[in-house]
Amino acid sequence: MAVSEQYLQDFLNYLRVERNLAKNTQQAYLDDLADFWQFLSIKNILNPGRVDHQDLTDYARHLKQRKMAETSVARHFSSLRAYYKFLIMEGYLDNDPTQFLDSPKLPASLPKILNYEDIELLLNAIDLDTALGLRDRALFELMYAAGMRVSEVCNLSMEQLLLDEDLILIRGKGNKERIVPLGGEAKKWLLEYVEHGRPSLEKGYYNAGILFLNNKGKPLQRKGIWFILKQLAETAGLNKSVSPHTFRHSFATHLLEGGADLRIVQEMLGHVDISTTQIYTHLDSTYLKEVHSSFHPRARKS
């Protein structure tokens, strides 16, 4: 086994056990590192201790020649930094060649959101005469009501519904738990789905009590949610880019527009750092400027 492969396995164990990252995230790290080592194999470099700043500069040039998007380049560099940070931490290496590696400067972008009318349009386009329709209505009502990540929705179990208390227990990144209140509409459609939709979807497969099932009785996957939402947007005639995360962004923005405290929104989103939540205050101020510019009689520029 090459030294680099041994270290990669140790790194994977670190990501899985100590950082408790999702499988998709673990795989993203490994894919980025595999790409890096494939490039270095041309130089006959198999040991991470032999990598120097020039090798990283050459790799950055290589990524640029492949016309890779700057966001992808930044992710590759982030994976390399995490990998070498791990090697230093474990005492495998003494020097970190990535310390002077410059990531491309990405333009700051505000998350896309749906206004309330857009969300109503999507929800009202769902066919409620089928079990799958009841599932979809409960699913998207919940995502908007609780600001959940798509991975959190896919892993949500029946036992996490605390409907008698109008609450939901969410297990987020790093298996950290948070409790979020549920509004009346979300609770109504969750009860409707649990009582009249989900039993029709169970096909005898073991589903570990997962709440949202596909038409085969197995747990609904993130790709399935993406597909459902895309089809729903087409049915509703919504000419906007929509993703499952759009519901999370809309949840946060609409709370702040309604006067919610930033710290409370941070808790409900499960953000460790409030600076992550503060992007929604920028979005809210943009919205306020648009309203002011549109309706204030002295706001129009000459």
Residue type, 85: K
Give the tokens for residue 211: 């709440």
Q: Which of 135, 149, 198, 254 is catalytic?
A: 149
Q: Which residues pair with 169 in a beta bridge?
A: 179
Query: How far apart (Å, rounded) are the C-alpha atoms in residues 140 and 118?
Result: 13
| Residue 300, phi then psi, degrees to nearest 5 | -70, 135
Indicate if the alpha-carbon torsion angle 35, 41, 45, 46 is positive or negative.
positive
Q: Which of 75, 173, 188, 222 is catalytic?
A: 173
62 is catalytic: no
Rg (CA), the chain: 23
Q: Which of 92, 171, 245, 287 is catalytic?
A: 245
84 is catalytic: no
Q: Which of 135, 137, 198, 248 is catalytic?
A: 248
Q: Which of 7, 14, 193, 280 is catalytic?
A: 280
173 is catalytic: yes
171 is catalytic: no
Query: How far apart (Å, rounded) are the C-alpha atoms in residues 170 and 153?
Result: 9
Tokens 């995502």, residue located: 143
Instruction: Tell me the residue length of the chain.
Output: 302
Which 8-state DSSP code applies to residue 130?
S
Q: Which residues are catalytic?
A: 149, 173, 245, 248, 271, 280
